[in-house]
Amino acid sequence: MIRRTITPRPDWQARVEAEGLVWHSADGRPYWDESACYVFTPDQVAEIETASAELYRLFLAAGQAVVDSDVLLDRFAIPRPFHAAIRAAWEAEPPALNIGRFDLGYDGRTPPKLFEFNCDTPTALLEAAVVQWTWKETVFPHAGRCNGLHEALVAKWADIAPYLPATVHVAHVEDDAREDSVTAAYLRDTARAGGVETVPLLIDAICWDHDRRCFVDADDRRIAACWKLYPWEWLAQEAFAPMLLDSLSQGILWMEPVWKMIWSNKAILPVLWELFPGHPNLLPASFAIPAGDAVAKPLLSREGANVSIRRGGTILAEREGEYGDEGYVYQSLYPLPEPAAGCFPVIGSWMVDGTPAGIGIREDGLITGNSARFVPHIVEG
């Protein structure tokens, strides 16, 4: 795995905006950063894909262990009223895209290691599926790729289309940076290509109709199915949480399914390590502060918020945020490679319904946060 410095396309901003990536820069720096690229060999790509498929198998086993245990569901800080809904959805397997992004540490020489699984509201989707593909075709047309994400999403929509209502709402928050709106718009594009009609919806516009006992949108249309870019742990704390449970019992389809509250929670990491100690794709993890070097992670944090790296009893790096009251887990420290000064890459390995579908790479400091840069990749050799 080599980081290669290259010259950006002179009109790269216009090109990525044309593909929908309007959120391509932040604070005067490129978020989409094509001044470099990562070069993988086919064997390295195969190793990442094999590890990702194996991790998905481990998550299935860990998910079952959590579903079977009220003690663990409580340890995950999941509200008691949602326990039954999670169990029901886990057993019923309602129609879903079942997409997610394994964040992995990988140096190209030793087995990839799991950091976490972003599988409820994963972002960096458009840039991984589309933008880096067209970049590669333009800049390195003869290179290979590890990128079948777009095709996998379209195929999955087509697969579940017969089980969906006539219209699926696609909901997100109204965000100034437009990261969420870009992701939601891209999901709508893939749905349309897969034969599924969608309508956009802002989370704040969702209302509960007491007479009809259903959620409706701003135009008073009943919401029969909704793919939402809004985490379940936030939904569970909303004033309409009891109505949400009511809608689930009526068979209203929410995507991703409510059981994603388990897999997207950092508390899954100690469960995985207890079930599969010493597994080559896992890092030791526990609920208790370990004696050695470790990374402290809140159960529900996002974009690196409130994460700290502890080495030799000293906090080496940390990020501020609003998480942590729900508890922490501690994962052994993995020495990320530093192919360029201050550039520590984390590989996002995308999964669609249990199958590896492509990768995206983000660079940041020691803790990957919302200031990370997306750097494209190619495959050579």
The single residue listed with the structure tokens 């064997």 is 43
Question: What mean pLDDT comes out for the span 196-225?
Answer: 94
pLDDT level of residue 369 (50, 70, 90 thresholds) = confident
pLDDT level of residue 143 (50, 70, 90 thresholds) = very high
pLDDT level of residue 360 (50, 70, 90 thresholds) = very high
Question: What mean pLDDT comes out for the span 204-214?
Answer: 92
Question: What mean pLDDT comes out for the span 23-33?
Answer: 88
Look at residue 192 and tell me whether its pLDDT is greater than 90.
Answer: yes
**Cα(197)–Cα(24) distance, integer angstroms:** 28
Note the pLDDT of residue 177: 59
Judged by average pLDDT, the poorest of 86-90, 232-236, 287-291, 351-355 is 287-291
Name the token pair of 226. Answer: 């909704």
**Cα(328)–Cα(325) distance, integer angstroms:** 8
**pLDDT tens profile 261-303:** 999 999 999 999 999 999 999 999 999 988 889 999 999 988 8
Question: How far apart, in Å, are the Cα atoms of 117 and each of 311, 349, 367?
Answer: 24, 9, 16
**pLDDT tens profile 68-123:** 999 999 999 999 999 999 999 999 999 999 999 999 999 999 999 999 999 999 98
Note the pLDDT of residue 311: 87
**Mean pLDDT rounded to a whole number for the chain:** 94
**pLDDT tens profile 337-349:** 999 999 999 999 9
